[in-house]
Amino acid sequence: MRSRSLVFVVLAAGIGCSSTPDPDDQANLNNPCPPGQYCAPTTPTATTTTPTPTPTATGTASTGTACSPIAVGAFATPLLVGLQQSEAPGMQAEGQSAAGQCSEGQSFEIPLTMQPGKCYTVVAVSMGVQELDAKIAAQPLPQLPPTPLAQDSNSGGQAVVGGKGSCFKNAAPLAVPAKVIVTATRGSGAAVAQIYVK
């Protein structure tokens, strides 16, 4: 009789054992408390993510620094012919003339490749612009700022670079990438410019 009760106790003790953990025990596998101690359940803390701001352009709206291109109208031809005869006699037009409708402070440009040994004159005239300025500037690389080589010294609505026989000569043995920059320094209106070469 005594041996039967011992077997019963052993069997009863084995009932609680299992090769697979109890689901409640499985939930506590990550519990940092040592075995046999009670720890209050931890609640996961909510993580707040701050959205990364999207880069935006800063600064005020630009009114633009470039004149609005316009067709060289009938007004320009007699003005340019008159200036060419007095400022660039015997010289030939280099490329086409360019014109722009400019507000004060705006500019337009004419690309120019100065050939070695050639001499250049720029004439520009406006209607409405009180102070028109022009210059020839070297531009060897587009990402670099232009380097002024020659500029007009006139005041008023006409600008001349290298006029009256003192044309600007490319003394370099190679062609030089350049451009003519015409600026409405004071006042607004239409302006036209032409490059001459000899």
CA pair distance 85, 79, nearest whole angstrom: 10
pLDDT at 29 over 80: no
Residue spans of alpha helices (H) in the chain: 2-15, 23-27, 76-87
**Is 68-197 CATH 2.60.120.380?**
yes
pLDDT at 9 over 90: no
What tens digit of pLDDT does each residue of 43-95 get? 555 544 444 333 332 222 334 699 999 888 666 778 888 889 999 999 999 99
127 vs 14, higher pLDDT: 127
pLDDT at 41 over 60: no
| Model pLDDT, residue 82 | 85
Strand, helix or coil at 162?
Answer: coil
* Strand 147-151 versus strand 168-169 pairing type: unpaired
| Model pLDDT, residue 64 | 61
CA pair distance 135, 152, nearest whole angstrom: 6
Nearest CA among 87, 95, 97 for reference residue 114: 95
What tens digit of pLDDT does each residue of 105-155 get? 999 999 999 999 999 999 999 989 999 999 999 998 888 899 999 999 989
Counted residue by residue, the chain has a size of 198
CB 11 within 8 A of CB 5: no
> Domain extents for the chain?
68-197
